A = this chain, B = another copy of it.
Amino acid sequence: MKLRSAVWKTLGNEKREGKLSRVVNAALVTLIATNVLAVILGTVHSVELRFGRLLYAFEVFSVAAFTIEYLLRLWACAEDVRYNRAFVGRLRYAITPMAIIDLAAIAPFYFAGFGGLDLRYLRALRLMRIVAVLKVGRYMHALHVVKSVLHVKREELLLTGAVMGLLLIIASAVMYQVEHEAQPEQFPDIPSTMWWAVATLTTVGYGDVYPVTTAGRIVTAAVAILGIGFFALPTGILGAGFIEEIQRTKAQRRCPHCGELIDQ
C-alpha cells in the first residue's frame, strides 16, 4: 500500500510538505479557478457563440480530472487514521463537507440538470479549496485570528442578528399598516414589505420601493437610523474581539515544533 500512502500524502496531506504535493495542489487550484471562469464566461451569449465547443471540451476535461481526483481521494483516505476502515471509514470521509463539495462539483455533469437548475454553479464552492491552500503559509495566522474572533463573539453577533430580525418583522408590520393604502402595488402584504425593510436597514436603498406618505417616511427615518446601529454594533463587537485576540496572543507562546499557539 505504498502507492496509496503516496497518493494520500500528495492529495490529502493538509501540511503539504512535499514538493510534488505542492505542484499537484497548485495545478488543481488553477484548474478549479479556470473552470469556474469558463462556467462564468459560458453564460455570456457572444462568448458561447464563438467558443462554445472549446468551453464544452474544457468542461469535459475538467470534470474528468475532478472525477479522477475524487476517486483517488476516496481510495487513499483509508491511509488517514480517521477513515482507516474499508467501507465505514470511506463513508465517513465522503460525508465531510469538503468531500461533499467535491462530489457536488462533478455530479451535476453526469445527471445533467435537476429541477431546471443548472447545478454546475455549485462548482464555485470548490473555490474554497483556494482558502484551504491559503491555510498553509503566511495567511494561516490571519485566517486563525479572524476565525477565532468570529467564534469568541458568536453569541453577541447572533444576538445582534436576532434583534435585527425582530426589528425587521415589527418595521414591516408597521410599514404595511401605514403605506398599504397609498401604494397597494408596492406594499401588497407584510412579506413583500420585508423587502423594503431589508433594503432600508442595510442602507442599500435600491429605490424600487419607498414610502410616499408622511407616516411612512417617519417610519423609514426611524428604521434607517436604527440601521446605522446595525453597522455600529457588530463593528464594535468585532473590533473589541480583535483587540482581545491580540492581547490573548501576547499572553501565549508558539510551540517551537509546529508553530501553533499554546495557552500558558
Q: State whether A159 touches B174 (Cβ < 8 A).
A: no
Encoded as 1 (CB less than 8 Å from any B CB) or 0, chain A from 228 to 247 comes to 11111111111111111110
Q: State whether A195 touches B169 (Cβ < 8 A).
A: no
Q: State whether B127 touches A177 (Cβ < 8 A).
A: no
Encoded as 1 (CB less than 8 Å from any B CB) or 0, chain A from 220 to 264 comes to 110011011111111111111111111000000000000000000
A210 to B44, CA, bound (A): 19
Known: A169-B127, A234-B229, A242-B239. A200 touches B204 (CB 8 A): yes
In the complex, given contacts A141-B155, A202-B203, what are 18 additional A-B residue pairs having Cβ atoms less than 8 angstroms apart?
A: A39-B190, A40-B172, A43-B190, A43-B191, A121-B173, A124-B170, A131-B162, A138-B155, A139-B158, A149-B236, A194-B221, A199-B205, A205-B207, A207-B207, A207-B208, A228-B234, A235-B239, A244-B246
The interface centre, meaning the residue of A117, A124, A191, A236 with most chain B CB atoms within 10 A of its CB, is A236
Encoded as 1 (CB less than 8 Å from any B CB) or 0, chain A from 32 to 56 comes to 0000100111011100000000000
Known: A128-B166, A204-B205. A160 touches B174 (CB 8 A): no
Complex copy number for this chain: 4
Q: State whether A236 touches B238 (Cβ < 8 A).
A: yes
Asked whether A143 is an interface residue with its Cβ less than 8 Å from the other chain, the reply is yes
A45 proximity list for chain B (CB < 8 A): 188-189
Q: State whether A241 touches B236 (Cβ < 8 A).
A: yes
- Can you list 26 A-B contacts (CB < 8 A)? A36-B169, A39-B190, A41-B191, A44-B191, A45-B188, A121-B176, A124-B173, A128-B166, A130-B166, A161-B225, A195-B217, A195-B221, A199-B224, A204-B227, A205-B206, A205-B207, A206-B206, A206-B207, A207-B207, A228-B230, A228-B231, A232-B235, A236-B239, A239-B242, A239-B243, A244-B246
CB distance from A203 to the nearest CB of B (A): 5
Asked whether A156 is an interface residue with its Cβ less than 8 Å from the other chain, the reply is yes
Q: State whether B177 touches A159 (Cβ < 8 A).
A: no
Q: State whether B117 touches A134 (Cβ < 8 A).
A: no
CB distance from A10 to the nearest CB of B (A): 25
